[in-house]
Structure 1
Amino acid sequence: MDNRQCVGTSLISEPPAPRRSRRVLRRVLVAALAGGLVAGGVLVLLPQERQRQPRTVRPPAAGPQAQAPVLTGVTYGVPAALPGLTALIGRQEQRVRARPRDARAWAVLGSAYVERGRRAGDAADYPRAERALRTSLAVRGSRNAEALDGLTALALARRDFPAAKEYGEQALKAAPKRWSAYPPLIDAYTGLGDYKKARSTLEKLMELRTGPVERPAVMARAATVYRDRGWREDAVAQLTDAAAAARTPAEQAAWLAGVGQLAWERGDLPDALRHFEAAMRLDPDQRAAPAGRARTLAALGRTAQALTAYRAAVARRPDPEVLLELGELYESLEQPQAAEEQYERLRAAVRQSMAGGVDEELLIGRFEADHGDAWEAVERLRAEWRRQPGIEVADALGWALHRTGEDEEALTYATAATDEAKGGGVRSALYSFHRGMIEAELERYGPARRYLEEALRINPYFSPLLAPLAREALGTLGEPPADELPEDHL
């Protein structure tokens, strides 16, 4: 049962670059007026975005209203089509050249760059976005809610949850009635493991009076919180309603892809595939749907189609997480050379992402724990846990510790990721598998059996590499003895 690994080639050989302090960033702010581009404020959605509408999406109003801002605030919470974003960026670049002291124009430009970078998976847009948003702040001052919204969205895109919390709270203080300040702050609290604040912020958001244009994005944010609490049916209901009320194909596609992801997480493969394919038909630039479709095809045993779908997804955008999935699928098919080719591409994609300021420590830690140097994974993930102790990091750190043989400590983090009382309300097959394997190594066979069974009950297809290991481990553990205590006595 011991499949631990502690040696290998590091994903990133150099240590992570040191982060600039807030003080340094504030000094940069003063000099930013000559600047360029950063993260998400108000996006003006252009008419081009509305050309490919399915019948289920209501057409926009004609005339000037169709060219006005469609959803105010944070672009992170309001999906927009890539062609429209590119057109918007061109307009805003012309505008700031003509009016370099137009703070709102700089904020819109920065927001558009954040959203385009996030949607296209291109972190090269993030430094441009940062320069634009800091220029907006320098022009208007520290109570510039649109620029602060954008900096919050940028920090989230870079997985910098402490910075997202700081900017998000400033944005909320500057404009407490702006609904768009709440969703990114919820994500920041979640990333920091502060689930109580995430829930209370959602409650305040739900109390605000939002119109029909904003309401789908609010419902989608509620779905995320419900999912993290383990309220899967409520999450599905919110996202389904959001998709039905969406105003643009890009927005509807994003919510449908979310419904597909929830279906995948509960092992409902036909439902997942249906929603991922519907999202792709609505918006060919959707990032989550193609990877979700490939993942689902692999679970259905349609391996050739899955490989084709994965290769198409990473050919357009070499997303590090999708490259890791594809590499592991090749491993499960006993094609180590093909797997290593994907891992090499993964290394390049991670370096490119980090150059744009993205925190990839979680992904690097996950990769190193299973495919490289587990000791390095522990070191990186310990630092990540100190900085932003969310459930994802707890799970990854616990697993990395298990891979180095530190199972007593590993159980502490695995418990944080799986016990609702400790914050881990999300029902994740992967988290349950990790805890089950750790419990087994500690010879706690009752809990080990329960968590491994739970992993396969939640989603029998959760990983082409690990799901077979879960079944094998259960076979090794055998049936529980007749005198085994029930769960509530352990």
Structure 2
Amino acid sequence: MENRQCVGTSLISEAPAPRRRRLVRRLLLAALAGSLATGAVLVLLPAEPQRHRPARPPAAGPQSRPREQALTAVTYGVPAALPGLTALIGRQERLVRERPKDAVAWAVLGSAYVERGRRAGDAADYPRAERALKTSLDVRGARNTGALDGLAALALARRDFPAAKGYAEQAHKAAPKRWSAYPALIDAYTGLGDYEKARAALDKLLALRTDAAARPAVMARAAAVYRDRGWREDAVAQLTDAAAAARTPAERAAWLAGVGQLAWERGDLPEALRHFEAALRLDADQRAAVAGRARTLAALDRTSEALAAYRAAVAHRPRPEDLLELGELYESLGQPGAAEESYARMREAVARSVAGGVDEELLIGRFEADHGDPWEAVERLEEEWRRQPGIEVADALGWALHRAGDDRQALTYAAVATDKAKGGGVRSALYAYHLGVIEAELERTGPARRHLQEALRINPYFSPLWVPLVREALRELGDVPDEPPPSE
């Protein structure tokens, strides 16, 4: 019924006692984060302060266009092209050297660092962003909405939903009619498992008048909420409209990659591949599209192309989640050595990410549950659940408890992840698979069969490693009995 074999080793290996090694790890990670942040942060403050002056207008000419597109994108909270972001950062760094009391320049610099770090997968930009944004806040004070928006975006990039909520609520309180605080509020409430507040915030956002530059970002935010509620068609419509209304190639590529992801989640491989490739034609740096294309090629049994695409995705500043996917693809192909190499690189990527202040507990917990130490996963994910109890954490914690052998407790969390009344409206093949396996272990044969079948109906290609186990579990459960179900 169940595959409890572990490939690879724990992310945190060779430790005597779980709680003691946890403390040692925290101390080491804190020391690493401090040293990397200290070495990475650019010293921008000049020796002598100058009077505050408004930011100077951008220079005209063809060379300034990517930079000015990035400035507009950062201002409106929409995706920007990496070359434009780098050019914008260079300009803002010069500006704050000249004008250290220019709060707007500091806020733009910090927000550009956040966006570049997020897009490039480089968490080393996050300590720089934090310093710039907090400098802006110190210069202007607590009602500095630009800095507060940037800090909320930084907290979201670091998966710190309580901090994101705090900054976004401050920004909203300072200027209640501004639309730009709402997307961060929605994401923060979602990460904290407060789905009613997320939907209420979306309703308020949609009721506001937003200009044409902001409208695609608003539609994309609506699509995310609709997807979480299980409203697939509405989510696709919103993201398609956002892509059509986008003003730059990078922005349009981001929304097309989102449409591709929705197609992937419902198992529509040709549609997913079409949108991922369209996104990459517009913006070759669109990392979600690179990984999505690789995932889709693997599902289409175009294995050589898939491996080449994954290698391209993880060649430079790889995201830990992409390395985990690649490792599991190698496992499914019977290549444990290559899988372990990918997992080793994932550990390195996680360490870099944590050094930049990113909360990687969810990803580490998932890895440990399937490929390492399940009790390590339980310990981490229980703490994560106490801090930010979203449905992703509920699913991961339920699965970790199952892998550790505590199926009764596991069922509690797996049910939360799939319960619409508790926010689990998203149609996830992985969540349905986890719930079905846990129910089968508890000899709840009927519900187990239904949920395993549902996993394959939602997306019969959701994982090259786990789909064969779904089919094996269904074979073990046998056919549905002919007799009618017992009456209440």
TM-score calculated relative to the size of structure 2: 0.89
**Structure 1 residue 212: Cα displacement:** 1.2
Within a 5 Å distance, the mapping from 1:89-108 to structure 2 comes to 89-108=89-108
Structure 2: how far apart are the matches of 1:158 and 1:121?
Answer: 11
Deviations 1:301-357 (A, max 9, x none): 000000000001100331100000000000000000000000000000000000000
Structure 1: how far apart are the matches of 2:437 and 2:204?
Answer: 40
Any idea what SS the aligned residue of 1:285 has?
coil
**Structure 1 residue 49: Cα displacement:** 8.3
Q: Please say if 1:250 is aligned against 2:259.
A: no
Any idea what SS the aligned residue of 1:480 has?
coil
What one-letter code is carried by the residue in structure 2 that aligns with 1:102?
D
Structure 2: how far apart are the matches of 1:250 and 1:7?
Answer: 38
The answer for the alignment partner of 2:16 in structure 1 is: none
State whether residues 159 and 359 of structure 1, in contact with CA within 8 Å, keep that contact through their aligned partners in structure 2. Answer: yes
Any idea what SS the aligned residue of 1:80 has?
coil
Q: Please say if 1:259 is aligned against 2:259.
A: yes
Structure 2: how far apart are the matches of 1:285 and 1:274?
Answer: 17
Structure 2: how far apart are the matches of 1:35 and 1:274?
Answer: 44
The answer for the alignment partner of 2:399 in structure 1 is: 399
> Residues 379 and 140 (structure 1 numbering): CA distance in 2 closer, same or farther, change over 3 Å?
same
> Residues 112 and 72 (structure 1 numbering): CA distance in 2 closer, same or farther, change over 3 Å?
closer
Deviations 1:444-489 (A, max 9, x none): 0000000000000000000001001001100111111123538xx8
The answer for the alignment partner of 2:217 in structure 1 is: 217
> Residues 304 and 136 (structure 1 numbering): CA distance in 2 closer, same or farther, change over 3 Å?
same
What one-letter code is carried by the residue in structure 1 that aligns with 2:458?
I
What one-letter code is carried by the residue in structure 2 that aligns with 1:17?
R
Any idea what SS the aligned residue of 2:72 has?
strand
State whether residues 6 and 372 of structure 1, in contact with CA within 8 Å, keep that contact through their aligned partners in structure 2. Answer: yes
Structure 1: how far apart are the matches of 2:379 and 2:74?
Answer: 41
Structure 2: how far apart are the matches of 1:45 and 1:392?
Answer: 43
**Structure 1 residue 419: Cα displacement:** 1.3
Any idea what SS the aligned residue of 1:426 has?
coil
State whether residues 45 and 85 of structure 1, in contact with CA within 8 Å, keep that contact through their aligned partners in structure 2. Answer: no
Structure 2: how far apart are the matches of 1:17 and 1:113?
Answer: 26
Q: Please say if 1:154 is aligned against 2:163.
A: no
Structure 2: how far apart are the matches of 1:102 and 1:236?
Answer: 41
What one-letter code is carried by the residue in structure 1 that aligns with 2:438?
I
Structure 1: how far apart are the matches of 2:154 and 2:177?
Answer: 21
What one-letter code is carried by the residue in structure 2 that aligns with 1:367?
F
Structure 1: how far apart are the matches of 2:110 and 2:178?
Answer: 19
Within a 5 Å distance, the mapping from 1:221-370 to structure 2 comes to 221-370=221-370
State whether residues 79 and 250 of structure 2, in contact with CA within 8 Å, keep that contact through their aligned partners in structure 1. Answer: yes
What one-letter code is carried by the residue in structure 2 that aligns with 1:236?
V
The answer for the alignment partner of 1:409 in structure 2 is: 409
**Structure 1 residue 9: Cα displacement:** 2.9
Structure 2: how far apart are the matches of 1:345 and 1:267?
Answer: 29
Structure 1: how far apart are the matches of 2:285 and 2:474?
Answer: 41
Q: Please say if 1:17 is aligned against 2:19.
A: no
The answer for the alignment partner of 1:70 in structure 2 is: 72
Any idea what SS the aligned residue of 1:255 has?
helix
**Structure 1 residue 68: Cα displacement:** 9.6
The answer for the alignment partner of 2:438 in structure 1 is: 438
**Structure 1 residue 73: Cα displacement:** 4.4
**Structure 1 residue 175: Cα displacement:** 1.2
Cα RMSD of the aligned pairs, angstroms, is: 2.4
**Structure 1 residue 17: Cα displacement:** 3.2
What one-letter code is carried by the residue in structure 2 that aligns with 1:208?
L
**Structure 1 residue 71: Cα displacement:** 4.8
Number of residue pairs the alignment of both structures matches: 456
The answer for the alignment partner of 2:31 in structure 1 is: none
Structure 2: how far apart are the matches of 1:261 and 1:275?
Answer: 9
Structure 1: how far apart are the matches of 2:264 and 2:290?
Answer: 13
Any idea what SS the aligned residue of 1:252 has?
helix
The answer for the alignment partner of 2:190 in structure 1 is: 190
Deviations 1:391-444 (A, max 9, x none): 000000000000011000000000000111121000000000000000000000
Structure 1: how far apart are the matches of 2:129 and 2:80?
Answer: 16
Deviations 1:262-287 (A, max 9, x none): 00000000000000000000001101
Instruction: Return 313-322 or 126-135, whichever deviates more.
Output: 313-322
Unaligned runs of 5+ residues in structure 1 are 19-31, 37-41, 52-63
The answer for the alignment partner of 2:474 in structure 1 is: 474
Structure 1: how far apart are the matches of 2:174 and 2:5?
Answer: 50
Q: Share of identical aligned residues, percent? A: 77
Deviations 1:194-226 (A, max 9, x none): 000000000000001011111011000000000
Any idea what SS the aligned residue of 1:179 has?
coil
What one-letter code is carried by the residue in structure 2 that aligns with 1:177?
K
Structure 2: how far apart are the matches of 1:116 and 1:108?
Answer: 12
Structure 1: how far apart are the matches of 2:239 and 2:104?
Answer: 31
State whether residues 435 and 448 of structure 1, in contact with CA within 8 Å, keep that contact through their aligned partners in structure 2. Answer: yes
What one-letter code is carried by the residue in structure 1 that aligns with 2:88?
L
Structure 2: how far apart are the matches of 1:443 and 1:275?
Answer: 42
> Residues 164 and 80 (structure 1 numbering): CA distance in 2 closer, same or farther, change over 3 Å?
same
What one-letter code is carried by the residue in structure 2 that aligns with 1:183?
P
Structure 2: how far apart are the matches of 1:117 and 1:244?
Answer: 26
Structure 2: how far apart are the matches of 1:67 and 1:361?
Answer: 35
> Residues 440 and 197 (structure 1 numbering): CA distance in 2 closer, same or farther, change over 3 Å?
same
What one-letter code is carried by the residue in structure 2 that aligns with 1:260?
G
